[in-house]
Every structure is written in structure tokens, then in C-alpha cells.
Amino acid sequence: MFRSAPIKTIARSMLFVTAVAFSQTLLADDATTRSPDTLKLKDGSMLFGKLLSGDSGTIHFESQHAGTLSIPIKNVAELSSEQVVVFKFHDGRVIRLPKVTLTHEPLDINTKDGVLAYSLADIAIINPEPWMMGVGHHWTGSLIFALELQSGNTDKQEIDVDLNSVWRRSDSRYTLRASGELDEANDVATSDDYTVIGKSDRFLTDTTYAGANLHFEADEFARLKRRHMFSAYYGKQWRSTPPLRFSTEPGLAFVSETRTELETETFFAFSWNIDMHSNVLGPKTDSYLTQVGVWNVEDSTDIVINTRIGLKMPVRPKITVNTQLKLEYDSGAPVDVEEMDTTFTIGLGYRW
């Protein structure tokens, strides 16, 4: 039998060794704990937290006390981070820095091309996603569906579908838009139309691009059997960050149009596309106005303008309630068809 004294001695020794090892671990953790990233704003205030990313002249920062913030770079006096940060500058260079402090005064940075000077104003993207570097693509989109069923004195069915899908790479963008409406009352069609648009854009700079557009459209009750259009355009992204995103695409189009009981007509036309989005009603909302226009250069009285004004409100992370007013103006419609067609819809949407 062991005596109690040696047992107590061994226990104390083990406890001492464990305490020393644990304290060394804590000291090591404290030594490797990084200081928080900081943003010093031009108004003198300081933000502490984590630098997330940056694009289009805006820094996205997770503050310890205010949550996630989006701050224009022009309002930042100094950015400081001890974590590894990847910067893509306006000159196209991508530099990975393990520790950095940037101000509006140029800072000398060693690169493979030698020592170059960069400042906050030279930043194009912070911590870019792979697709921004030419690897893979970024896919976003939304699908809106509205359905109305009525039975009794009147049997009525209305179906409205609207799809918008965008594939984005660092230097290009591909867009698919499709919408359609099919309405019946007492087994008699009262509306039957569709529009399909495919676009391809090639970016010339961060805010300008050249593109081509294929447009297919038909509306049985407007006596439009088909309208096919190919257009080339020059695009300008005037604003690309919240609360307002705004772009225009003026161009030239070749149009082929066939109306009921009339021969196919072809002509050249001026074309334009306007795209405006805003989140002024909330960070997850989308208020928008889009417009597609075609103006016949051979007949100045022949003009088509399709405008959509809408609002998407989130009810779940990816589910939205959508309201939309669609205004379709066609000055070349037959005399017994209204030039302006107005449609208001409310439906559910899914976005990704």
C-alpha cells in the first residue's frame, strides 16, 4: 500500500504542471490575438471591427457596436487591418497584404513590378470574390409568379410569370429576361402575350460596356403576331451602389414585325434601355423602373415604349411580395386597338 503523503505530493505536482501548461497556452493565444480592424472617418469618429469587402467606391465593414455598415471610401480617412487583405486596384493589379494601413496619401507597396504607390482612392475591390478575378461566374435572379382563379357566375383564370436571370463574370455579363401573361374568362382567352430578351455585355471599364440584345415579343390581342429585334448598344452604369443603381443603354436596332392580316415589315430603329433600382424603402427591398424603347428611323410616328414600375418586399430570406405596373405603348397598333396597354399585378417571387 502507498502512503498518503506521496500520493498527495504526486497530485500537487500534476496540478502544478497542468496549471503551467494551461497558462502558457492562454499567453500564447493572447499573443496571437489580432487587434480589430479600424476605420477612421473624416469626421473624426473611429470604427472597430472586421473589414469584410469593398467595391464600387464603398467599404463594407462589420462594426463591433453598429453591425454591418457600407461606407463610401471618400468618407474614410484611414483604413487599418492586421488580417490578410486582398486589394484589386484601378490599374488592374491584385496585391495581397498581411498587414496594411491606407490613407488618401499614397503608400509605397512592394510588387513584382517594383515599388508602386497606392492610396484609398486607388482601390477598386477589397477581398474580391473568385468571379471578380475571372474564376467562375456569379448567378443572381428572380422569378415572380401571380395566379388568380375565380369560379361561379364567371370562370376566370389569370397567370403571370416574370423571370430575370443574370450571369456575371469579371469582364462580361449575360442576362435572360422572360415574361408572359395568359388570361381566360369562361373558357375564352382574354390575354395572351410573351416577351423574351437575351443580352450579352462586354465591360470596357468598371462603368462602361458594349452589348448586343435579342428581343422576341408577341401579343395576340394587340394584333402583334411577332416582333423580333436585334440591337447593339453602348451601356453606361451611372451609379452602381445603394441607395440607387442606374444604367442606360442607347443603341441601334434592326426590327422585323408582323401584325395580323398584314405583311412583315422590317426597319432600322433607335433603341434604348433604362434600368433603375433603389433600396430607399429598406436594405432588402427593391424599387425599380425599367424601360425598353424602339423608335423607327424611317417613320418618326412609329414608336414602342415598354415600361415597368415595381416593388419587391421581402417576407422570407428569399421570398418576396411583388407589385408591378406594366405600361406598354405602341403607336403603330391598329386603329381598333388601344395604343396604351396597362397591367397591374401582385404576386409572390423567389430570388437568388
* Coil, strand or helix at 22: helix
- Distance between CA atoms of residues 345 and 323, nearest Å: 6
Flag residues of the chain having pLDDT under 70. 1-34, 150, 152-154
- pLDDT for residue 33: 58
- Distance between CA atoms of residues 272 and 276, nearest Å: 13
Question: Is 97 in contact with 89 (CB distance < 8 Å)?
Answer: no
- pLDDT for residue 115: 87
CATH topology of domain 138-351: Porin (2.40.160)
For 171, phi and psi rounded to 5 degrees?
Answer: -120, 5
Question: Is 345 in contact with 324 (CB distance < 8 Å)?
Answer: yes
Q: Where in the chain is the domain with CATH 2.40.160.40?
A: 138-351
Within 10 Å of residue 227's Cβ, how many Cβ atoms? 21
pTM: 0.75
Within 10 Å of residue 75's Cβ, how many Cβ atoms? 12
- pLDDT for residue 137: 87
- pLDDT for residue 22: 47
Question: What are the pLDDT digits (tens) for 162-207?
Answer: 999 999 998 899 999 999 988 887 777 777 899 999 999 999 987 8
Residues 6+ apart with CB under 8 A from 13: none
- Distance between CA atoms of residues 350 and 25, nearest Å: 49
- pLDDT for residue 335: 84
